[in-house]
Amino acid sequence: MVGPKTVEAGGAASVPLVSIVRLSGVVALLGRFPALAGIDLEVGPREIVLVQGPNGAGKSTLLRLCAGLLRPESGKAEVLGHDLSVHRAAVRRSVGLLGHDTALYDDLSVVENLRFWAVASRVDGAGVGPAMDRLGLPSRLHDVAVGKLSAGQRRRVALAAVVVRRPQLWLLDEPHAGLDQSGRDLVDQLVTDAAAAGATVMLASHELDRTVDLATRHVTVAGGTITSDRPGEGGRGVEDVL
């Protein structure tokens, strides 16, 4: 575990946090099914954590819990210092979740979607233009309704929405899905740059050929529990810039 760091939330005052995510004996239900069955996990600042495991293991549920979208049924769960039993809304404003669903509005344009997420996250909308540039979204697409874009273009817009929010915690579920080679390479760079800038990244992926070398830590989930937690080889360039 890395030592205490100072991290920033979308332009807010710097807040020292020893742990970004702290879960102890957490059970989370999907309906009546325990998708997480006693998770113990602690994640520190600037870590890049690969969450791996078979389909149905609980990877996506773990990310959604950390995003404040699920209430823990039992156990203790804190994200960014907030108790997930009572302060999930505060967590949602400070994390960036990229799920299987892009969480974009099909009837809004690219620019309108990104401005919406800037307002929802209480950050300066001046970051919308740079985010579109970073994700390779040309000006001809800026005013196009998201529903008219290709799957790969929508995925880039969803990634731009995460960038705009400047989250302390990036939660990426299969982030390379639907992207061409340049887009997949861009995801890798975004993850590395986010950690170098002080954020923490948790990503769930089956694409181990890309993500194993990217991650500073590998966590394996099976049956709703963590079965392995070991250091990774990634992020070696992160500490060089600190």
90-99 tens-digit pLDDT: 999 889 999 9
**Mean per-residue pLDDT for 77-106?**
94
**Mean per-residue pLDDT for 53-82?**
95
Residue 161 belongs to a domain: yes
The predicted structure's pLDDT at residue 23: 98
Report pTM: 0.88
**What is d(CA 160, CA 63) in angstroms, rounded to the nearest whole number?**
19
Domain of 109, in residue numbers: 104-166
Q: How many domains does the chain have?
A: 1
- Do residues 118 and 128 lie in contact, with contact meaning Cβ atoms separated by under 8 Å? yes
Closest among 217, 204, 186, 195 to 100, alpha carbons compared: 204
pLDDT band at 52 (very low <50, low <70, confident <90, very high): very high
The predicted structure's pLDDT at residue 9: 40
Closest among 54, 62, 18 to 38, alpha carbons compared: 62
Q: Is 57 helix (H, G, I), strand (E, B) or coil?
A: coil
For residue 237, pLDDT over 60 is answered with no
For residue 17, pLDDT over 70 is answered with no
Residue 88 belongs to a domain: no
Residue 237 belongs to a domain: no
For residue 223, pLDDT over 80 is answered with yes
Name the residue with higher pLDDT: 18 or 43: 43
Instruction: Give CA 184 to chain center in angstroms.
Output: 16
Residue 215 belongs to a domain: no
Instruction: Give CA 85 to chain center in angstroms.
Output: 20
Residue 162 belongs to a domain: yes
The predicted structure's pLDDT at residue 172: 98
- Do residues 137 and 113 lie in contact, with contact meaning Cβ atoms separated by under 8 Å? no
Q: Can you list the pairs that 135-140 forms with residues at least 24 positions away whose Cβ atoms lie under 8 Å? A: 135/159, 135/160, 135/163, 135/186, 136/182, 136/183, 136/186, 137/110
**Mean per-residue pLDDT for 52-66?**
95
The predicted structure's pLDDT at residue 16: 54
**What is d(CA 167, CA 164) in angstroms, rounded to the nearest whole number?**
8
Residue 224 belongs to a domain: no
For residue 239, pLDDT over 90 is answered with no
Instruction: Give CA 220 to chain center in angstroms.
Output: 17
Contact residues for 162 (Cβ-Cβ < 8 A; gap 6+): 96, 97, 98, 170, 172
Amino acid at residue number 242: L
- Do residues 64 and 108 lie in contact, with contact meaning Cβ atoms separated by under 8 Å? no
Q: Helical H runs in the chain?
A: 59-66, 88-92, 110-120, 128-134, 151-165, 181-196, 208-211
Residue 116 belongs to a domain: yes
The H or E element that residue 50 is part of is: strand 48-52
Q: Helical H runs in 97-200?
A: 110-120, 128-134, 151-165, 181-196
pLDDT band at 233 (very low <50, low <70, confident <90, very high): confident
pLDDT band at 18 (very low <50, low <70, confident <90, very high): confident
Residue 143 belongs to a domain: yes
The predicted structure's pLDDT at residue 235: 57
